[in-house]
Structure 1
Amino acid sequence: MLAFRRSPIPKLAYLGVRRFSKTVFSCNRLANISSSGGDKTVEHNIKSETNRLSKTGSRFWDKGRVFHNHSTGRYEIQLDGKTLRTPLGLPLTLPESKKQLAYLIAHEWTHLPKISLKSSALPLTGLAARAIDLESAGNQKQSDNDGGEEMLAIEDLKLSMLKYLDTDTCLIFAGAKDCDGKLRKKQEELYRPLIDEYNDFFTQYGLSRNLLKENERIELKFLDCEKDGLRGNRQTLKTQQVVVDWLDQLDIFEFVALEKAILTTKSFLCAVSVLRSNVSDESRMSDVFQLNRNSKDFFWYKTVEEIIELGNLETILQTGEWGEVEDTHDVEQRDWLRSLTSAALLSH
């Protein structure tokens, strides 16, 4: 499979605004985020239903349901009449725009398999809880500036995410002889149009935000192993600035969905593709996710299966040639499908 190329520790402050120690901290902490969307650096000593399940692995509720609180206009996920709480002890409530997500989370708790009571079986709960906790932690730090480090700050997470664009799976082309030449051929077929699309997407975004001059264009840097050997890949400062500004436009649910997709695919472009293909708000699609497209009829779209093919291309080619390794490739494929589907539903 394509190696999961983890972001190298930067030698200098990234974007000229972070010190070396802070950026190293960001990269290391991002790697601690669990596959269910939570952050293992958070101490789970707070009394909440999510923490209780994580610690005991036993069912302590009978029924799960969604309650629409008309006074707040939010949907509450309840267990036996009590509002479910996140790992940080916050009520798991969702805005009216997330009605579908609320019912899907209630469904997770209602139909949790009795033979495997693990928090990993609640992917949507984990992602929604992370969004709520992350937003709350960010707001608290802005208000009291206590310097707590229980949860990595959103601004640090943005810089950590950005590092994946340097080592993006879809920006690294294999040698001509890898997999008897089949891999490079398929990469040329799939990756070139993807790179062209995102060059145009981020160029149009940069122009719309006056981050680029009229004659400037974003050109994503890629690594060609046939010519470049093992040298590193690094996006330009201008590209970094445009992409970080785009990240600033995401709401907290879109942000956590992007984070989940990046950690699954090790590809920033694949992760952005999940959002661009699944956000349902038409105004946000036009202003944030499809701004390089003239109309809805021409929106750029990829299915989850197509995104998995982009991010896991080498493994897919190898299993097609040699067959699956039992309990390895099939499990990995299901994990990718579950993770990216969860991210898509969170951003919807």
Structure 2
Amino acid sequence: MIAGLEQPTSGSIQISGADAKETTPGERKIGMVFQNYALYPHLTVFENLAFSLRAARMQKSLIRERVEEIARLLELEAMLAKRPGALSGGQKQRVALGRALVRQPSLFLMDEPLSNLDAILREKMRVDLRHLHEVTHATTIYVTHDQVEAMTMSDRILVMQQGKLEQIGTPNEIYHRPATLFVGRFFGSPPMNALKGKIRVQSGQFEFVSAHHNEKIVMAQPTEAGLDQLLDASPTCWLGFRPEDVEVGKGDGVHLFVTVTYLETLGARTHVHVKWGDDPLVYFIEHQDRIPERNETAWITIPYAAFHWFDERQDRLDIHPSGRTVLSVKNSRRVLAAVNGVEV
């Protein structure tokens, strides 16, 4: 719809402050970069870059000047006479970027442009694309299923699941204040730990009881954590915490007695998979720390401040009274519901 290939059923599309709904795709000054490069195999790199300029009947001298400028920017000068079949995956992707850049668009649309590259080349291209954005200052809408690309390259992230909008925010907001459990678990590797259960009061104490077994977590700070509000709002809930917030041993926070089930050694750190009752959890330790054995038992600690609470619909519960957010979760739900066309 942004490119003009499909028409929206309602609403408007604003590009550079103007309603683009009535304009043709060619009039929108959009540069498109495809997942599979979409280069013309029978044309040289120069001819691929110059194709749209020749179609616009630009003067030959200006075409050469523009193409050579883009070739210098993308380090393609030595490849201008080659055809796509003689290029590597990274070189093809740079040609595809150059073909979009040469038109000097006001908006870039990129559809998973790095998904066909190997891990090392993908990392380099992430840096190159970010540098390219800083040079051109053009707005870029970048579609990806890779959380690392989203976190490292974007100024703002829009998270969608099954056609529904989950959250809009900066990478920092998305990671540290996920609006839904899906967002919390999608961003981060390993993903956020999530425990389903209920909050209850037992002998004057607030407890989180797992839905999968009889183990419980006694919350020693119910008022500070806002659990008294949670009890009224949603007794069935999800408790989330990130692997990097887990401390080995008994420290200040909630203590869990776990059994090690699996180890993933990654060099700089090791992912430790454990079970708390029947609930699987994961945390990691650095390479200099002692690596536990499989089936070994241990105490781990999660600080109270590390908890993320979600209601039974898996929407975030901002229950901590000291929390600050520009857009409250309640209002966020209304905004997202309006976008998604559902009632709340």
Task: Give the TM-score normalised by the residue count of structure 2.
Answer: 0.25
Task: Give the TM-score normalised by the residue count of structure 1.
Answer: 0.25
Higher relative contact order (CA 8 A, sep 6+): 1
Larger Rg: 2
